[in-house]
Structure formats: structure tokens, C-alpha cells
Amino acid sequence: MVVSKTFYFEAAHMLSNYSGECANLHGHSYKLLVSIAGNPQNGMIIDFKNIKTIVSNVVNGLDHAFLVNAKTSDKVEMELKRIILKSNKKLVEIDGRTTAENIILYIKSAILRLLPNSVRLAKLVLYETKENFVTLEIND
């Protein structure tokens, strides 16, 4: 059985080494669907408020942050990173370019560190726009 909850966050990024509009600094209103699987205990797989607590810890870190490639070689991205760090603004480093695919992998890792062993993360869906999203089915 699977239960799901939706979360929202705003973040800015740019796609280094990309030829198109997304190479420019811009932002998105992200929508994240988190699905948790398990066997109901006392009628529940996991309390929705527990899902909210766990995932909010991750999403709050991303909300209104500049997402940057941790290993960027893009001069503009490196300079923005330097300025943001120097001015104590919110910055999150992602492994690889800050595509929806890499952001969802970052989210998966962060949630797995907080999730109780009695349940498992089943699926994540990250909407970058109303029409564009990435789905990660987790089979472990």
C-alpha cells in the first residue's frame, strides 16, 4: 500500500553548458509528490504529519535557494556561488547540473536519510513547471 503527499518550493538555478534560455539564471515553482509504501500498522502506513515533518526538512532547505552544480566550471555560476556564500544567502549544492533529474536524486537521498525503517520511499515526482516533470520509481 502507498500513501502520498504533495509539497511546494521555489528555487533558482541556471543550466551551465546548455545552449538555450535555461542557461540564464531563472527560477521555478516546484511541486513535489512523495509516495511512501509499507504495511499498515494500526490502520496507517505512516502518519501524514510524519511525512510532512520528514519532507519539510528537505524542502525547506531548497525553498528560495539558489541551486548550483557542486562541481561547476561555469564562470558565471561560480561567481554567483561565491557572491551568495559571501552574503550569507541560501545556496544548495547539487551533484551535477541542476536539472530536474539531479534535483530529484538530491531529494531522494535527503529523504532516505530521515525515513524510518518501517516504511520505504516508493516514488517521487518533481514538477519543474505545470507541464514538465520527472518521475523516480524507487525499487529497493
CA distance 45 to 38: 5
Which segments of the chain are extended strands (E)? 2-13, 26-37, 65-69, 91-94, 120-127, 133-137
Predicted confidence (pLDDT) per residue in 55-73, tens digit: 999 999 999 999 999 999 9
Q: Annotated catalytic residue: which of 13, 28, 77, 128?
A: 128
Which residues span the domain enclosing 18?
2-137
Q: Would you tell me how many other CB atoms lie within 10 Å of the CB of residue 59?
A: 20
pTM, two decimal places? 0.95
Q: Is 131 a catalytic residue?
A: no
**Length of the chain (residues):** 140
- Catalytic residue (choose from 22, 26, 28, 77): 22
Instruction: Give the CATH number for residue 87.
Output: 3.30.479.10
Q: Choose, from 10, 64, 79, 101, the residue flagged as catalytic.
A: 64
- Residue 128 known to be catalytic: yes
64 as an active site residue: the answer is yes
Number of domains in the chain: 1
For 71-95, the pLDDT digits (tens) are 999 999 999 999 999 999 999 999 9
